[in-house]
Copies of this chain bind each other. A is one copy, B any other.
């Protein structure tokens, strides 16, 4: 932390601030400058409650310096985290990109299988689908619940894809932890700290999406909540932030990817479907996400988007997803990364 004094602050005022800092248990470092004095503060662990420093006579401003995150930081772990899944080559965070695809919501068994068959064939190792949907309106379709989880478990058996699905409260998290392979925490719950702590005690990896107006620091602190409870298998996901711009539903902030990778060892994916909210922007932004260095993609695909119960506007047709995969595979190669080969037509297991 740094206290910047006013230009006309007296030496007495500077001394008073220093004494105050000492009284708070920290160490002041006064730095007289050409026009004003600044006072560095050390000795604080994490967040300091600045108390009345800013209100003291002669003080211009108090600036926060030290970053409060620890476990998510490269300061603690320099090597990239790779999330592995027993008995499979699917992973999040390694050289291979994690491709997660599926419908916004699981609507019924036929729909889910129709989509799963196509995204599996195109190379996706992870199947996503909502069983619990956080919808802006209480009158919108809210998801099939545990029935949706069961359908996805069938899809795992049938196609061998790992299942990623969202938990929206402690109750659904219990079920998602039981039935799925990765627990998704959505943007609206990024600072639902109660849910983050519960996710931190889960035995399954967590995919944490950035909140709609979360700073980089807040995003990392939300992940810190999960790690601080003992779950180190956390992947982050940029999905667009809220700005004044109105040509897309959100503004996809791709510069977050290298920024996260500089500070944190956690893998980070990109969701261009929610990030743009428009089908015709998903493929270009998917290319861009891979080009910027993301560790994977979340893509909404629906076999009949115009009959989807949610987010139809941003869901790709399966043929468009095939095309997207072909394009990002080539982009990935430029960065010496790989996108899974096109899946076999034969299911991994004799299903259900």
Residues of B within 8 A of A55 (CB): 279-280
In the complex with contacts A54-B313, A134-B191, A252-B255, A244-B215 CB distance below 8 A: yes
Residues of B within 8 A of A78 (CB): 8
The answer, yes or no, to whether A209 is at the interface (CB within 8 Å) is no
Q: Which of chain A's residues 277-308 have a Cβ closer than 8 Å to chain B?
A: 278-281, 284-285, 287-293, 305-308
Interface residues on A, range: 35 or more
The answer, yes or no, to whether A108 is at the interface (CB within 8 Å) is no
With the chains together, A150 CA to B46 CA distance in Å? 30
The answer, yes or no, to whether A36 is at the interface (CB within 8 Å) is yes
With the chains together, A291 CA to B281 CA distance in Å? 12
Distance of A56 from chain B, by nearest CB (Å): 9
The answer, yes or no, to whether A52 is at the interface (CB within 8 Å) is yes
Q: Contact at A288–B292, with CB atoms within 8 Å? A: yes
Q: Contact at A191–B191, with CB atoms within 8 Å? A: no
Distance of A261 from chain B, by nearest CB (Å): 9
With the chains together, A20 CA to B248 CA distance in Å? 24
The answer, yes or no, to whether A258 is at the interface (CB within 8 Å) is yes
Q: Contact at B65–A4, with CB atoms within 8 Å? A: yes
With the chains together, A228 CA to B136 CA distance in Å? 13
Of B47, B243, B287, which one neighbours A291 at CB under 8 angstroms?
A: B287
The answer, yes or no, to whether A86 is at the interface (CB within 8 Å) is no
Closest 5 CB pairs of A and B: A51-B306, A33-B42, A7-B75, A213-B213, A291-B291
